[in-house]
Amino acid sequence: MSAGFLGLIYILSVFLIPIPTLGATGDYVALTPLALTAGETGIDSPNNFNGCTKPEISGVWNPTTKAWTTPPSCLPKYLRYVYNTGILLAGFLAVLSIVRGGFTLLFTDSILGHSEAKGIILRALGGLLIVYSSFILMNQINPQLGSDLNLSLDYRPITIIRPPVQLVPSLTKAQLAELDSRTAKVRGEKQTEIDTLTDELSVLESQLVEAIEFGTDEEIAQLEADIKTNEKKTARLNLDIAGTMEEREVTSHALNAETEAEALENLENATRDEGSINRIQSAYEAYRTAMAKNPTEVINSYTEEFARISSVHKALAYGVMDHPPNLPEDERAMDYVPDTDRANQIVSDQIEAILSDRRAQVTALANLNATVDSTTSLYLQGETGKINQTANAQICQIKNQCKAKGYSCKNHQPTIHCEF
């Protein structure tokens, strides 16, 4: 066992003894600045400490911010040299301990002396393992940490790029008129399809009445299926007209209003009884009635409806912020003085409408959850989360626009955490 232990000491000495020997053979001039190596220039070079205590030597003074734009950072350099010096000292002391333990082991005959010598050597080897494991760990994290111990504390801040708050590009009057013309054309085509389906439905219902009296069960079942298909197609077309097209028309006009009168007119047309929002809601209710036996379609309709209506409310809020209403004539000295208080209240009303509609949709989905299976229930919960996310996103975008426009909308709106 002693021979094997001595062999281990010999093998380790082959690798450890050259460390201090190599350091002794290098050129070193005491009490002189550390020289720059090839390619190193300036205060940021790892071997240059000049100017560490005098920022004005290498820093650039910015008179606007009254600060050094490139202040020297010498802490990483000192840490690097302290670490490297500690590693060298640990290696040197470990070699001394191993040599000392080896001589003790060779020149003692007592069992206690042998045990003490082995303990010295093992402790030295354990210390080396602890010291060099730090290098191995840092080298695994990042080779620069292991080779250069780059501990620079100059972290770059994360840059947040925000999407533009505008829903659609600004349109001229001619472009808006062209969009309205195309929308009206498509609406007319879909309305023609609806009229055709309505006529077919009347025929199918008449045939069903006759089949109930004189037809077979198969004929009755087929007619009932045809009627259901007809109703679903009609509901889908109505949804396209009152959903997609209505939303597109309202948002495009709200976001491209040119005067405060147009902004208020868009608001009135959308929020009044039988207005755009009411028509969208009615279309989705009819669609859900037609799709009553398809829970997935019903669930999707709630999410889609909320996305459209919340988008309309956001567009209306943007329109009012871009063109706030005018103060009453007896309260202004000029032709136009923005009534910011009323604008703030209108915007907060749109936010409250989004929250109210969210509560209604979430409640409806919660009631529906009691009637579906477990798989559909999981899907329903996911759609409920989407509604909540959409509400928060829309409200935060309105708040962001408030901030950009200089409004104090937050004085009226409920507390919702948004990252600006």
pLDDT tens-digit profile, the chain (420 residues):
455 555 555 555 555 545 444 444 455 454 444 444 444 444 444 445 554 544 444 445 555 555 555 544 566 667 777 777 888 888 888 889 989 888 888 888 888 888 888 888 899 888 888 887 877 787 777 666 656 555 544 445 555 544 444 444 566 677 777 777 887 788 788 888 888 988 888 888 888 888 888 888 888 889 888 888 888 888 888 877 776 677 777 777 777 777 778 888 888 888 887 788 888 888 888 888 888 888 888 898 899 889 889 988 888 888 888 888 777 766 665 666 677 788 888 888 888 899 999 999 999 999 988 888 888 888 888 899 999 989 988 888 888 888 887 776 654 445 555 654
Cβ(99)–Cβ(121) below 8 Å: no
Handedness of CA 301, 306, 307, 308 (dihedral sign): positive
User: What CA–CA distance (Å, rounded) separates 44 from 53?
Assistant: 14
DSSP letters along 62-101, please? ETTTTEESS----HHHHHHHHHHHHHHHHHHHHHHHHHHH
User: What CA–CA distance (Å, rounded) separates 164 from 282?
Assistant: 32
Distances from the Cα of 362 to the Cα of 280, 305, 365, 387, angstroms: 18, 12, 5, 8
Which pLDDT score is estimated for 360? 92
Nearest one of 216, 223, 168 to 201, comparing CA atoms: 223
Which pLDDT score is estimated for 374? 85
| 3-class DSSP state of 338 | strand
Cβ(347)–Cβ(412) below 8 Å: yes
Q: Long-range contacts for 78-87 (Cβ within 8 Å, ≥24 apart)?
A: 79/149, 79/151, 80/46, 80/148, 80/149, 80/150, 80/151, 83/149, 84/149, 86/131, 87/131, 87/132, 87/135
| 3-class DSSP state of 41 | coil
Which pLDDT score is estimated for 357? 92
Cβ(254)–Cβ(214) below 8 Å: no
Which pLDDT score is estimated for 167? 46
CA atoms within 13 A on the CB side of 167: 25
Which pLDDT score is estimated for 265? 83
The pTM score is 0.53
DSSP letters along 12-33, please? HHHHHTHHHHHHHHS---TTSP
Identify the helix (H) or strand (E) that includes residue 61.
strand 61-62
